[in-house]
Amino acid sequence: MSEQKLPMAGLDGAPPTPPVAKSTSAARLVGTLAVAGAVAGAAIVMVFSWANPLIQANQAARLTGAITEVLGGAARYETVFLDGGAFTKEPQADTATLDRVYVGYDAAGAPHGVAIVTEASGFSDVVRVIFGYDPTSGDLLGMKVLENKETPGLGDKIEKDSMFVGEFADVGTPLVGVKKDRATGAHEEIVMITGATISSRTVVDMINRRMEALREPVSALWASTAVASGGEAPDAARAGATGGGL
């Protein structure tokens, strides 16, 4: 039909219509993307509503595991927030913006220690650690690296070397990082990893800095917690641990 029409149009004297590339209307283009976007969004919402509770549970389990580990066997823990210079369980401000620590209790309900998260720049990226602190003796109970991107085989020993991690159990504060051959056996000493001085020092320094900032409020918190749980301070069980280091 159109093949016959074109030469005829030429005969009429009317200019022949140039062949135009078929273009799609703008409405159709926008419509296609809008429909695709809506369907994609709906599908993602469905998957998200299934996955989100699991993801949250995973994160909570990871935190609980870390707190239990650094507190040396706390049965349960409670989050307390630093609001206006003092720790409180029910702060006035939005909890998302507040600093926090975790108070661990043993099976009998007596306070066991305080787990504190801190972070600082290491050799390659931010190193995040959680450590357990016993305000009664002023000792650390344990340390666990939550996040690090330190050099594999050297700096990442701060997480993987059980010797180094073990140094943080029953050690006085503030910590003193020493090289292997300079260790004197003092209560505050942490023997650093050979070949990973910066990574080791990062961990030691960040714990010291955090303790310096939090020592007062944590002590106040500890006094009130001990009273709240019937004055049963857990130091009776830990009488063997030498104090000092303060």
Binding interface with another protein (CB under 8 A): 23-24, 28-29, 32-33, 36-37, 40, 43-44, 47-48, 50-52, 54-55, 58-59, 62, 151-154
d(CA 4, CA 6): 6
Closer residue to another protein (CB): 20 or 50: 50
User: How many residues are present in the chain?
Assistant: 246
Complete DSSP assignment for 114-155 = EEEEEEEE-SSSEEEEEEEEETTTTEEEEEEEEE--PPTTTT
Closer residue to another protein (CB): 156 or 188: 156
Closer residue to another protein (CB): 6 or 51: 51
Closer residue to another protein (CB): 5 or 28: 28
CB 101 within 8 A of CB 116: yes
In the complex, the smallest distance separating the C-beta of residue 19 from another protein, rounded to whole angstroms, is: 18
Q: How many CB atoms lie within 10 A of CB 128?
A: 16
User: Kind and range of the H or E element at 104?
Assistant: strand 99-105
d(CA 126, CA 62): 19
In the complex, the smallest distance separating the C-beta of residue 39 from another protein, rounded to whole angstroms, is: 8
In the complex, the smallest distance separating the C-beta of residue 206 from another protein, rounded to whole angstroms, is: 21
In the complex, the smallest distance separating the C-beta of residue 40 from another protein, rounded to whole angstroms, is: 4
Closer residue to another protein (CB): 14 or 42: 42
In the complex, the smallest distance separating the C-beta of residue 222 from another protein, rounded to whole angstroms, is: 33
The amino acid that residue 174 corresponds to is: P
Closer residue to another protein (CB): 65 or 109: 65
Query: 69, 114, 95, 72: which is closest to 210 by C-alpha?
Result: 114
DSSP SS3 for 76: strand
In the complex, the smallest distance separating the C-beta of residue 30 from another protein, rounded to whole angstroms, is: 9
